[in-house]
Structure 1
Amino acid sequence: MATRLLTRLLSLPYPPEQDGRWSPVTSTIDWCEENYYATIYSAEVVNTLTNLLFFHLAIKGIRNALKEGHDTVFLVGFVGYLLVGAGSFLFHATLKYPMQLVDELSMIYTTCLMCFATFSNGRSRGHAICVAGFLASLAVFVTGYYHFLQDPRFHEAVYAALTAVVVARSVYVMEVTLRPRHQRRQPGRKDSETENEAQTAVRESERDAQILAQMWAVVGCGLGLFLSGFVFWTIDNRYCSRLITWRRQVGLPWGILLEGHGWWHLMTGLGAYHYLVWGTWLRHCTNGRQDEYELVWPRWNSLPAVVRSETAAGADQQKKDV
């Protein structure tokens, strides 16, 4: 009773929908958040502002990539992640069709980039060129066909398929690279290993098993965030009218918590960040640099990051001093 009274005392009624700076709506999608109720400068203010998380995490990822010397493809990946957030920010602020294309197609292009990173690593230059050509052609086709079709379900299906392919391939590479039972002896290596070689092999197997367990934790957290976001996204689409009624009953600011698409942004933003960190770390491991880099993730509700190990950082400092 006291909680209900406090909620009523600390809530404001929702203003009515109105025309705004960017009216009329020209996008093929108008989400469940009511338009321009808070300000004439943002059509969907919650859906707009929740994209600021992408800006924060993208800057964090870009700084980490530059500081720690990660492969360029992941630096570009975080730049693409930033563009996704910027596109979504502009789309929800204006609900204009060109901004919708910027939002949705940047998701496709960034996922294609991650496909390239996954399928070209460790392969010949010719193979990498073929992969790049195929993905570039696919991106051009999706862009043209989506603009012709203008059906959001096509974009959703392509994005989901590309994401599933990238994750599945990355999991396969992770298991084959790090799972001890999948590791093969080096060509020409004799069974009569020296004691030092045997000890080194045991140490590396234990190290890789520990890394694999940590990677699965990152993967599980990322997928859990993505699936949670999908649940919010589905509820927001299916029960929109009911959610609007509830939001107007509880008033502001409490009604913000019932903006399902805003939760989708937060959940998928965090999930995508976890994937990029995982991909960065996996690339170092597939390149045999497990002892040079490590994952820093002090607790489950913090943000993971891949950094140079203390040993590798110390060696680099010694080189600079010399």
Structure 2
Amino acid sequence: MAPVEGYWGKQTATIDWCEENYRITPYIAEFWNTITNFIFIIPTFSVLAIAITQNHENRYKWCHIGVTSVGFGSWCFHMTLLYSMQLLDELPMIYSSCFLLYCQLETTSPENHHNRPLQIFFIVISVLITVIYVSTKYVLFFQACYGIMVISMVVITVRIIMTLRHSRKLYIASLATYVMGVIVWILDQHLCGQLKVVRSDVMPRMLSPVTELHAWWHLLAGVGTYLSVFFSAHTRYLYLNKNPEIRFWMGFWPYLSVPSLTKSKFKHRIMSS
């Protein structure tokens, strides 16, 4: 994309996406790529409140915090196209992936167990990736690291579904949604020229947001990530015999309720006192 200056000044990020900069408003560089990050923030922050209320394990609270931070960072990045905000988007993707990988690898551990060696391993990995990426600014290095983590999640999840009780529908929904997101991300990368022609010469301007494929990546990846954490937590609490319940807000948005965790916490307090 040609450099266009708006409220946030000259672009310093090493990446500029296919959406035309500052087309909707001078205060947001990539409008649709920005606002679609709500999918990472609002649902996950709401589920974090439920997790705190019901005393879910801290590992899943950190997953929710990680996903929310990805959405916040991505919002800031696409809004400003500044390099500092790019890092605020990309590095939390690594950290939140480490949180989920830890949860997956510890699915069959005792309740509230802390695997210190594994935690230290992921901290070291996160620090190394951060130092190398910030030093080199080589975006393919970041994408390769993130890709390896996503593939690792899929491999671990396959092992989990082959050995533990789980919700197959939940797994298929999470995987299919994320894969569709990856597909539109790739198409946005390789068909940007054609998409720009369609927006400017073929489609009415009011319909052009439909062709903003990176925004669709946000929506699909956000839902896929949400469901991946959901699947991990649901499988974990099935293993612990906590009778997790899949409920739906407004009849369509799923969330996990584990009332037995709240009861266990209350019972522990009674016995301690």
- The TM-score range, normalised by the shorter chain, is 0.7 to 0.9
Shift of 1:298: 9.4
Does residue 26 in structure 1 map to residue 16 in structure 2? no
Matches of 2:32 and 2:215, distance apart in 1:
6
Deviates further, 67-76 or 40-49: 67-76
* Partner in structure 1 of residue 257 of structure 2: 307
Q: What is the match of residue 218 of structure 1?
A: 170
- 1:151 is aligned, of 135, 138, 147, to 138
Does the C-alpha gap of structure 1 residues 85 and 227 become closer, same or farther in structure 2, counting only changes over 3 Å?
A: same
Q: Is the 8 A contact 1:219 1:275 kept in 2?
A: yes
In 2, distance between residues paired with 1:22 and 1:35? 11
Q: Quick check: 2:174–2:227 contact (8 Å CA) kept in 1? A: yes
Contact 2:56 2:261 in 1 (8 A): no
Residue of structure 1 in register with 2:123 after alignment: 136
2:247 to 273, 296, 316: 296
The residue number in structure 2 matching 1:227 is: 179
C-alpha distance in structure 2 between counterparts of 1:294 and 1:176, whole Å: 21
Partner of 2:71: 85
Structure number with larger C-alpha Rg: 1
Contact 1:33 1:44 (8 Å CA) reproduced = yes
In structure 2, what is the equivalent of residue 185 of structure 1?
A: none
Deviation at residue 50 of structure 1 after TM alignment: 0.6
Deviation at 1:313, TM superposition (A): 9.2
Tell me which of 244, 250, 259 is aligned to 2:196: 244
Pick aligned residue for 2:58 from 69, 72, 78:
72
Matched, 1:255 2:255: no
Preserved CA contact (<8 Å) 1:22 1:94: yes
Per-residue CA deviation, residues 276-313 of structure 1 (Å, 9 max, x unaligned), is 11111111122232xx32223599x932222136xx59
Q: How many residues align?
A: 264
Query: Which segments of structure 1 move beyond 4 Å, counting only runs of 4 or more?
Result: 123-127, 312-316
CA contact (8 A) 2:249 2:255 kept: no
* Distance (Å, rounded) in 2 between the aligned partners of 1:23 and 1:31: 17
Correspondences of 1:201-212 after superposition (within 5 Å): 212=166
For residues 313 and 109 of structure 1, the distance between their equivalents in structure 2, rounded to whole angstroms, comes to 26
Q: List alignment gaps of at least 5 residues for structure 1.
A: 1-15, 179-211
What code does the residue aligned with 2:226 have? Answer: Y
Cα offset, 1:315, TM superposition: 7.3
- Structure 2 vs 1, CA of residues 17 and 245 (structure 1 numbering), >3 Å: closer, same or farther? farther
Offset, 1:314? 11
The Cα shift of 1:100 comes to 0.6
Whether contact under 8 Å (1:17, 1:37) holds in the other structure is: no
Distance 1:73 1:126 in 2: 10
Q: Is the 8 A contact 1:295 1:306 kept in 2?
A: yes
Q: CA deviation at 1:254?
A: 0.5
Give me the TM-score of the superposition, normalised by structure 2.
0.87
Match in the other structure for 1:276: 229
Distance across 1 between alignment mates of 2:247 and 2:111: 32
Equivalent position of 1:96 in the other structure: 82
Once the two structures are superposed, the pairs formed by residues 104-115 of structure 1 within 5 Å of their partners are 104-115=90-101
Letter in 1 for 2:224: G
Q: Secondary structure at the match of 2:151?
A: helix
Aligned-pair distance for 1:125? 10
Q: How far apart in 2 are the matches of 1:274 and 1:238?
A: 28
Task: Indicate which of 41, 55, 71 corresponds to 2:27.
Answer: 41
- Residues 120 and 131, structure 1, Cα contact 8 Å, conserved in 2: no
Task: Label 1:171 to 1:246 Cα distance change in 2 as closer, same or farther (>3 A).
Answer: same
Maintained 8 Å contact 1:119/1:131:
no
Please say if residues 13 and 83 of structure 2, whose CA atoms lie closer than 8 Å, have aligned partners that are also in contact: yes
- Once the two structures are overlaid, the 10-residue window that deviates more, 140-149 or 261-270, is 140-149
Shift of 1:269: 0.2
Aligned partner letter, 1:59: F
TM-score w.r.t. length of structure 1:
0.75
Letter paired with 1:304:
P
Give the secondary-structure state (helix, strand or coil) at the position aligned to 1:42: coil
Percent identity over the alignment? 28
